[in-house]
Amino acid sequence: MLRTHTRWALLLGVLALAGCRHRIPAPYARGQGPASDELLQRTGAQLAALQVSKAKVIANRTLRGNLAFIAEAPTRFRGTVEIAGNELVTLAFHEEGYALRYKMDAFPPGFYSGPPSACAVEALLGVSFDTEGLVDLVLGGAPVIEAPHEVLDQGWERRGGYERLTIANDRFVQELRFGWVAGQWRVVGGQLWERSGGERGRRLWTMEHIELVDEGGVYLPTKTKVSAPGKRRDQTVVIHYKERDTDPAFAKRGGDEGGGDEGGGDDGGWEDDGGWEDDGGWEDDGGWEGDGEPPDGEAADDGGWEDGSAPDGAKEPAEDDGGWEDGAEPDEASEPDDGEGETTPDRAPDPVSPKGHPPAKPKAPPSPTIPPEFVLEPTGLTIRGDLCR
């Protein structure tokens, strides 16, 4: 009997120790956690521009393709998914609108375009991010709900080893996760729900940055995972970054924002390095949601996180279509009467411009020029209008 009790005591001790291993202490003293404003500042793009010339994209564990993209804060992006040199979908957007080249079968293939819209992003990734949110995401940050919002909850999660911040506005509730990496708070994940009666409603999406590494002084994930509820199970997309440039040539245009002809040559856009890596192709091209079961050894994704451990390395557009009004010419000055007495005019006369020098009209600032890297053409495709109307 004594041996039995001893064995149980040892077993319980081992289990207790095993449980403690997953509890990570906060990197700050009790009551000395980071301010919520400080954390929210960390959700924006971590660098001005990025070029990813090679990445692997896996949708629902079975659909595999190659991804290349360029992005420039705050609202410019162009990305292509293809297999063996065959384009499947290309999305480009900027502050004036989006363009989509689509060759899959979730909706009619063709060329779509319209004002900036989250549904165009969904056509590429299967998750409905707004355009600025996607740029923040691929530049190392995270999409954040529109202000004003309130802080509902904040605290350190010992099991996962991250700081949790929950915010809400009148429509949504969002949780953001931050890891203490290389002496700074860095966003490592987030979830978004509809707000229903002051509580969390339907989950809209989950995102996670995995294994942050130093890329030229900027910490970026080696993988990014996003998921959203599907008809039968979550739509899940994982991006494995392989080759990226944090100081891309396309962003060195010089001159004013938006580029121009001077210094704006496309010398750093899409590099032709002998074709794309072929990973075996899409095993199921019927859209983002796969019909088959996950491969052996993999569990179905329930929208959770990749794992509960601390992040590796731990030891935030509108279309402008308004016109400009030209200033009006000043009225002619009133001539004084020659009659007797002094006449008081109803209003003071307008000033008379010096002869030969008419008043200058205000000049409208030039509309921004969209760099060619972020413009798509419908070559070879049927023009179908706005997918998102």
In this prediction, residue 369 carries a pLDDT of 86
CA dihedral 67, 72, 78, 82 (to 10 degrees): -10
In this prediction, residue 21 carries a pLDDT of 57
Are 66 and 83 in contact by the 8 Å Cβ rule? The answer is yes
In this prediction, residue 223 carries a pLDDT of 98
Name the helix (H) or strand (E) containing 11. Answer: helix 2-21
pLDDT reading at 388 higher than 70 = yes
pLDDT reading at 261 higher than 60 = no
- Per-position b or e across 40-55, b if 16+ CB within 10 A of its CB: bebbbbbbebbbbbbb
299, amino acid identity: A
Residue 116's pLDDT band (cuts 50, 70, 90): very high
| Range name among 8-17, 152-161, 171-180, 371-380 with the lowest pLDDT average | 8-17
Q: At what angle do helices 131-138 and 118-125 cross, to 10 degrees?
A: 50
In this prediction, residue 259 carries a pLDDT of 38
Look at 51 and 4; give whichever has higher pLDDT.
Answer: 51
CB atoms within 10 A of CB 357: 7
In this prediction, residue 130 carries a pLDDT of 94
In this prediction, residue 61 carries a pLDDT of 82
Residue 31's pLDDT band (cuts 50, 70, 90): very high
First to last CA, the chain: 75
pTM for this entry:
0.70
pLDDT reading at 280 higher than 90 = no
| Phi then psi dihedrals of residue 329, to 5 deg | -70, 140
Contacts of 117 (CB under 8 A, 6+ apart): 98, 131, 387, 388
Peptide bond into 74 cis (omega under 30): yes
- List pLDDT tens digits, range 197-231: 888 999 999 999 999 999 988 999 999 999 999 88
What is the distance between the alpha carbons of residues 36 and 153, in angstroms, rounded to a whole number?
10
**Which residues pair with residue 183 across a beta bridge?**
none
- List pLDDT tens digits, range 62-80: 889 999 999 999 999 999 9
Contacts 24+ apart (CB under 8 A), 82-91: 82/276, 83/276, 83/278, 83/279, 83/281, 83/282, 84/276, 84/278, 84/281, 85/275, 85/276, 88/282, 88/285, 89/123, 89/124, 90/376, 91/120, 91/121, 91/123, 91/124
Residue 312's pLDDT band (cuts 50, 70, 90): low
What is the distance between the alpha carbons of residues 48 and 371, in angstroms, rounded to a whole number?
15
Q: Mean pLDDT across the stretch 45-57?
A: 97
In this prediction, residue 317 carries a pLDDT of 39
What is the distance between the alpha carbons of residues 318 and 216, in angstroms, rounded to a whole number?
32
Q: Mean pLDDT across the stretch 298-320?
A: 47
Alpha carbon separation from 8 to 2, 4, 5 (Å, rounded): 10, 6, 5
What is the distance between the alpha carbons of residues 144 and 197, in angstroms, rounded to a whole number?
21
**Which residues pair with residue 199 across a beta bridge?**
196
Q: Does domain 46-320+369-385 have CATH number 2.50.20.10?
A: yes
Helix, coil or strand: residue 90: strand
Name the helix (H) or strand (E) containing 15. Answer: helix 2-21
Which among 225, 279, 235, 222 has a CA at the least distance from the CA of 82? 279
pLDDT reading at 192 higher than 60 = yes
User: How is 278-303 classified by DSSP, letter by letter?
Assistant: P-S-BS--S-SS-SSPPPTT-PPP-S
